[in-house]
Amino acid sequence: MTTSATSPITQTTTQTSAAAQAAANADPGRTSLAQNFDMFLTLLTTQMKNQDPTSPMDSTQFMSQLVQMTGVEQQLAGNDLLKQLVANTGANVSNAVDLIGKQVRATTSDANLSNGQAKWGYSLPANAADVRIEVLDSSGLSVRTIAGSADGAKAGEHSFTWDGKDSLGATMPDGTYTLKVTASDAGGLNIASSIYVEGMVSAIQLQDGQSVITINGGKVPIGQVTAVSLPADASNTSGSGGSTPATDPTNPADQTSA
- 58-74, pLDDT tens digit by residue? 666 666 766 666 666 67
Say if residues 158 and 118 touch (Cβ distance below 8 Å): no
Task: Give me the chain's average pLDDT, please.
Answer: 76
Q: What is this structure's pTM? A: 0.58
Specify the length of the chain in residues: 258
| Least confident stretch, 28-32, 148-152, 242-246 | 242-246
Listed in sequence order, the residues at least 6 apart from 87 whose beta carbon sits closer than 8 Å to its beta carbon are none
| Least confident stretch, 42-56, 102-116, 152-166, 168-182 | 42-56
- Residues 191-206 have pLDDT tens digits of 999 999 999 999 988 8
Return the CATH number of the domain spanning residue range 104-257. Answer: 2.60.40.4070
CB burial string 100-133: b at 16+ within 10 A, e below: eeebbbbebbbbbbeeeebbbbbebeeebeebeb
Burial class (CB in 10 A: 0-12, 13-18, 19+), 216: buried
Say if residues 128 and 199 touch (Cβ distance below 8 Å): no
- Dihedral of the CA atoms 56, 58, 61, 63 (nearest 10)? 90
pLDDT at 15: 43
Say if residues 140 and 178 touch (Cβ distance below 8 Å): yes
pLDDT at 92: 54
Listed in sequence order, the residues at least 6 apart from 126 whose beta carbon sits closer than 8 Å to its beta carbon are 155, 185, 191
